[in-house]
Chains A and B, each alone.
Chain A
Amino acid sequence: MDVNDRIRQQLDEHSVLLYMKGTPDFPQCGFSGQTVAALKAVGKPFAYVNIFEDPEVREGLKAYSNWPTFPQLYVNGELVGGCDIVVEMYHSGELQELLAPVEHPA
């Protein structure tokens, strides 16, 4: 399976997926940490991939999404954005709205 197939599989399996540096409990970058904080504040379940543990996905995702930095949040397979966008959407209420239909464990 090539890296694009692996990314597609991950996105298929998790309706809310955060590609981040570190883990939600131990983010290894301030931007990843702020994005986790926004998601936790919304309170819906989300899955994550620690890109430090998967260098192939780390590189592959930059090309897949035409987005060169992390974190990257995906909902239903679509790129929502990085830290700036997610935090902005949290403050405007759009993130809560976007995640409202998410019920089952991500």
Chain B
Amino acid sequence: MSESRESKIRARLEARFTPVELQIRDQSHMHAGHAGAADGRGHFAVTIVSSEFAGTNRVQRHQMVYDALRALLESDIHALRIKALTPDER
């Protein structure tokens, strides 16, 4: 069995951000049948807490997460909800 999409996302985020907290939820079932789901890529929601986000604004945090997942955005991820916090903001 191939590596699940969720574990691919997890591996990349852990390598890039060494998060103190990381939750990944596969919400693809909530979108089955709509146009964006037709190519088989999934909908995911990520909550990530990492000191790497210190001193950055919301747009930059999302860009950092997108950067870490760039290759997967082409192949596995159609949509991504992101909540990115520093440990202090939790």
User: A residues near B, CB below 8 A?
Assistant: 28-31, 66-69, 79-85, 88
Contacts and interface: CB of A to CB of B under 8 A. Distances in A.
A83 B73 CA distance: 17
Contact of B59 (A28, A68, A81): A81
Query: Do most interface residues of chain B lie in helix, strand or loop, or is the interface mixed?
Result: helix
- Most B Cβ at <10 Å: residue of A67, A82, A83: A82
A37 to B, nearest CB: 16
Query: Do most interface residues of chain A lie in helix, strand or loop, or is the interface mixed?
Result: mixed
B71 to A, nearest CB: 11
Contact of B58 (A31, A68, A69, A81): A81
Interface of B: 31, 34-36, 58-59, 62-63, 66-67, 70, 73, 79-83
Contact of B36 (A29, A68, A80, A84): A29
A68 B83 CA distance: 16
A85 B58 contact: yes
B83 A80 contact: no
Given A79-B59, A84-B81, A85-B62, A68 B73 contact: yes
Contact of B66 (A29, A68, A79, A84): A68
Question: 8 closest Cβ contacts across the A-B interface?
Answer: A85-B58, A68-B73, A66-B63, A68-B66, A84-B81, A81-B59, A79-B59, A84-B82
Contacts of A69: 66, 73, 79-80
Given A29-B35, A84-B81, 11 more contacts: A28-B35, A67-B63, A67-B66, A68-B66, A68-B70, A69-B79, A81-B58, A84-B62, A84-B82, A84-B83, A88-B58
A66 B36 CA distance: 21
